[in-house]
Structure 1
Amino acid sequence: IHSADVALTIAGASQFGINARIEGVDWNKIIERASVGIDQDARNIEEALERAPNVTVFPGSGRFRAPGELQVGDDVIHAGQFVIAAGGRPHVPEIRGLDSVPYMTSDQALRLPAQPKSLLIVGGGFIAAELAHFFGALGTDVTLVVRAARLLRHEDDEVSERFTSIFSRRFRVLLDSNVIELGPEGDQIRARVRTGEEITDVLTDSLLFATSRVPNTDLLEVANAGVELDDRGYVKTDEYLQTNVPGTWALGDIVGRYELKHSANLEASYVAHNLLNPEDRLPVDYSAMPHAIFSSPQVASVGETERELREQNRPYLVSTYPYDQAAFGANIEDHDGFFKVLADPETREILGCHVLGTHASILIQEAINAMHARSGVAGITGSIYIHPAMPEIVQRAFGSLSEPHHHHA
């Protein structure tokens, strides 16, 4: 993604008095930077496990045959304790003509041998947002087909609306839309898109599905282990991450609470503790669980959205502070960015923070730390901030809290 950020910076250099242009894109080098790092990390982990004492690695795909019994290839493993951390995979919706055209998911997107001239992305969530930015900034003509009325519909409404507006300036974005048919058209792909009553044909070189993900519980055949699943196919656990089968635990994407690497890391630390300390089990503390979207603009969020607080009928204070009202934000010409804070009017507890703009994933960390430490609004406003540095935006957002303009029932 950083290569795309650099390309976008060069494209916008003229506003800072720098005349620059991109002479070309070395696609193979960009893809190599992404894939080599990932592959090397995977090899390092694998080699470390193979060298570790008391660890036996069984390469291959596993499936449960019965409670306490897992088959991997020709090997059958019996154990009193199992940790299920088999993740999830991209889901591709059923569309007429799908099998007549080539398509990809996020699994293949960053390993393409050549950069597509045009790309149709089906989906409007964080994967679609990140990959649209990546391909688009490097010169691919991107179209997004989004089923919802906005991109990033699970984010705070202000973030979602602003992001949709910005992306609609950068790309062709078809909202409230569905791909209803696919077919080959010469050496391209023809996608028939329905928007309300209107039908449009979109021609594209490449097709990418970024619609949703599904857990790998079916591939692992966890039902054979007696493990209960929810109605979406995710493993059900208690607050200690143990399943209904004593000694069988689960964490990460296959549980589906937060499908994030850092949440899986947190869950893994709790499972390790609870499995080894049955008399001193700890419930997982998911408070102040953040996420970020590495698109352009970046988005970062922690805690409740304003919509969720209204639905709970909970009183709150709100502040939405524009980046460009602080010196650093104005200097970098970020006129779309803002930092939004939601807080309890009585206790001044921080209820949620939502950021859109440059380095959103960095700026939000102060709010995450304050929420985790339960230091409240004063934990931010009581500190001294460097002028004219970017974190002043955070300080000013927290210092501008007021009653929302609408009334509560």
Structure 2
Amino acid sequence: MTHYDLLVIGTGSGNSIVDEHFDSQKVAIAEAHLFGGTCLNVGCIPTKMFVKTADLARTASAAHTARFGLTTSFSAADWPAIRDRVFGRIDPIEAGGRDYRTNRLPNVTVYPEHVRFTGPRTVVTDSGAEITADRIVIAAGSHAHVPELPGLDAARVDSPGYPVATSNSIMRIDSLPRSLTIIGGGFIAAEFAHVFSSLGVDVTVLVRGDHFLSHADSTVSERFTSAFAAAHHVRTGTSVTALEVTGAGVHVTTRTSDRGTGSLTSDMVLLATGRVPSLEGLGVDRAGFDTTEGRLAVDDRQRVLAGGTPVPGVFALGDISSPYLLKHVANHEARVVRANLLADIAAGAPGAAEAADLTVVNHRAVPSAVFSDPQVATVGLTEEQAAAAGVDYTVKVQEYADVAYGWALEDRIGFVKLLADRRTRRLLGAHIVGDDASMLLQPLVQAMSFDLPADRMAKEQYWIHPALPEVVENALLGLEFD
């Protein structure tokens, strides 16, 4: 049995914790998969690099440029070149991070394997090594959800030669399929449908509910679904009941409430049915840790709970414990955990730091975005949530088409929807669909974070004319206050 001062499980945002402040600590890092975690290897970063390529391909298509009086076309995609541009940058970063932690830090030992808890501060690796630690950070992330379907060999999903993939492997395939069925109606499904259809693949998306992005504000969900279905093959209200791999491809059997059973066959299937915290096999029950809604339970200082009480010296962050499966949230939580670890170390024994001396996490005004076509960005309450909370709110929907830059874009889809407290004038929520939505949202996130009243934001600064942010200005001006 080997003892460490600190054990970090997972190398996504958890990898950023161990810096020069821990040089005097004996540290162990356990990582069963790729260094850098989901975001770097199979999530936000590579997908956005593919999305940019897809955006360029779609922009070149005749359907996009005809309304501008141009005649252009998109002819073909060099998939290996597209793929290698992405992973030619990402893979060296992963390898460099692994080498740095493994070979260049004398106080750090890397265990490149899965670990499971056998007690609150004891783990065992798959190879049988037992590890104890005074303090532990659990940052084991999440994994793609694979649904149970008749005919689906779950053990072979993402394996070479098996034509059913998740986001773990779909970006690394050898060649583009002629046709692809995507199962799911969330951001993963929307982004990959945009990528592959833009590159010439015949894509069909099967959405179980009536709309994409079902957890979004209803205006966003409805209008995004309408715009997306106009440009893609989408079947809403469709449940998958079985899946069979045949010589002709993957045969998917479906059921809808109004049309009965149906089927389709495609070269590949992408399971885009969400992500779940990687608790399974971690042994948190053996450690006595609390869980809530399928994730590890933590307090507002990121301390892991057992019986509702913080476990001394044990912290968690990111997808394993956060209600927000977002990289920027995991990064913030990692900063909180680093600060609280250092405070705990300075106090002496694990758990010795007073709660008042620990940093509190900030989950206020958490933004998110969907990088599809159209793009979506959102922060704060939906209108449904505001109504359910009994808030006296004012709402304004402003169309891109109502401002001059919207004319330049020939935009018929984009809009900004704002909600604000009618009495305090503070923004409650902001929802944007359309070009550059993720960038247009950021000033609204800032206003919500620093309690800037919406009317002051609108009137007490210049808005560049005729830039696209004027649509945000006009939405702010359209809110009606007491």
TM-score, normalised with respect to structure 1: 0.95
Instruction: Tell me if structure 2 keeps the 8 A contact 1:122–1:145.
Output: yes
Match of 1:317 in 2: 394
Q: Does 1:215 align with 2:293?
A: no
Check conservation: 1:174, 1:195, Cα contact below 8 A.
no
1:86 aligns with 2:140: yes
Following the alignment from structure 1 to structure 2, what is the Cα–Cα distance between the partners of residues 37 and 397?
40
By how many angstroms is 1:221 displaced? 1.9
Counterpart CA distance in 2 for 1:216 and 1:241 is 17
User: In the aligned structure 2, how far is the partner of 1:331 from the partner of 1:381?
Assistant: 25
The superposition leaves residues 335-393 of structure 1 with CA deviations (integer Å, 9 ceiling, x where unpaired) of 10001111111110010100000000000001011111211211343210111111111
Return the letter of the residue paired with 2:319: D
Output the amino acid matched with 2:57: A
**What are the equivalent positions in structure 2 for 1:1-400 lying under 5 Å apart?**
1-11=51-61, 12-50=64-102, 51-52=104-105, 54-72=107-125, 73-99=127-153, 102-197=163-258, 198-230=260-292, 232-244=293-305, 245-277=311-343, 278-279=353-354, 280-377=357-454, 378-400=456-478
Q: Structure 1 CA distance, aligned partners of 2:91 and 2:283?
A: 27
Partner Cα distance (1:346, 1:292) in 2: 29
CA-atom RMSD in angstroms = 1.6
Deviation of 1:53 after TM superposition, in Å, equals 5.5
Give distance in 2, aligned partners of 1:169 and 1:16.
19
Unaligned runs of 5+ in 2: 1-50, 157-161, 306-310, 344-352
Residue 147 of structure 1 and its aligned partner are, at CA, apart by 1.2
Cα distance in 1, alignment partners of residues 105 and 333 from structure 2: 22
Give yes or no for contact 1:344–1:350 (8 Å, CA) kept in 2: yes
Q: Which residue of 2 aligns with 1:406?
A: none
Preserved contact between residue 76 and residue 199 of structure 2 (Cα < 8 Å): no
- What secondary structure, in the 3-state scheme, does the structure 1 residue paired with 2:224 have? helix
Structure 1 runs not aligned, ≥5 long: 404-409
Shift in CA distance, 188/388, structure 1 to aligned 2, threshold 3 Å: same
Cα distance in 2 for partners of 1:106, 1:352 equals 30
Q: Which moved more, 1:273-282 or 1:356-365?
A: 273-282
How big is the shift at 1:43? 2.2
Residue deviations 1:47-100 (CA, integer Å, cap 9, x gap)? 333424633222222222222112233432211110000001111111111129
CA distance in 1, matches of 2:111, 2:458: 49
Q: How far apart are 1:172 and its partner, in Å?
A: 1.9
Structure 2-normalised TM-score?
A: 0.81
CA distance in 2, matches of 1:206, 1:372: 43
Q: CA deviation at 1:212?
A: 1.9
* Counterparts of 2:226 and 2:146, CA distance in 1: 27
Please state whether the residue corresponding to 1:179 is helix, strand or coil: strand
- Greater shift, 78-87 or 186-195, is seen at 186-195
Q: Distance in 2 between matches of 1:247 and 1:285?
A: 20
CA–CA distance in structure 1, aligned partners of residues 72 and 176 of structure 2: 22
Task: Name the count of aligned residue pairs.
Answer: 402
- Are the counterparts in 2 of residues 370 and 380 from structure 1 also a CA contact under 8 Å? no
Q: Would you say the 8 A contact 1:34–1:110 is kept in 2?
A: no
Q: Any conservation in 2 of the 1:302–1:368 contact (CA below 8 Å)?
A: yes
Counterpart of 1:271, as a letter, is V
Counterparts of 1:320 and 1:34, CA distance in 2:
37
Q: What is the CA-CA distance between 1:18 and the residue it aligns to?
A: 2.5
Amino acid at match of 1:221: G
Q: 3-state SS of the aligned residue for 1:38?
A: helix
Distance 1:381 1:132 in 2: 40
Number of the residue aligned with 1:407: none
